[in-house]
Amino acid sequence: DAKTTQPTSMDCAEGRAANLPCNHSTISGNEYVYWYRQIHSQGPQYIIHGLKNNETNEMASLIITEDRKSSTLILPHATLRDTAVYYCIVRVAATSGSARQLTFGSGTQLTVLP
């Protein structure tokens, strides 16, 4: 699975959009970009994933550059409860008959400020 690079920490004002970047310059054509987050003292939580098209769900939007070498997770209106470590993970889709594990890096500590 491709390696990812994320900033160690970021701050965001409450109510503003939080834009979390991730670099994955060695990504392969069959690798997806996944985002998880971990709120303090809780288990990781799935946010969103994508292959090459931009994706949006009730939690966030994922913008993947055309060359797929980087992506940005957008939390449109950050709240204090969004304070967490955000992990960008690049992973090949599971093949038939076999699930695939997640390899977590260090992630980005997002702090939403009041």
Contacts to another protein by CB under 8 A = 32, 34, 42-46, 49, 93-106
Minimum CB distance to another protein, residue 23 (Å):
18
Rounded to a whole number of angstroms, the minimum distance from the CB of residue 104 to another protein is 4
Sign of the dihedral through C-alpha 3, 48, 80, 74: positive
Q: Compute the least distance from the CB of residue 113 to another protein, in Å.
A: 24
Q: Which is nearer to another protein, 32 or 63 (CB)?
A: 32
Is 4 in contact with 90 (CB distance < 8 Å)? yes
Do the Cβ atoms of 110 and 17 come closer than 8 Å?
A: no
Select 41 or 66, whichever has its Cβ closest to another protein. 41
- Measured from the Cβ of residue 58, the count of other Cβ atoms closer than 10 Å reads 5
Q: Say if CB 55 and CB 62 are below 8 A apart.
A: yes
Q: Which is nearer to another protein, 18 or 34 (CB)?
A: 34
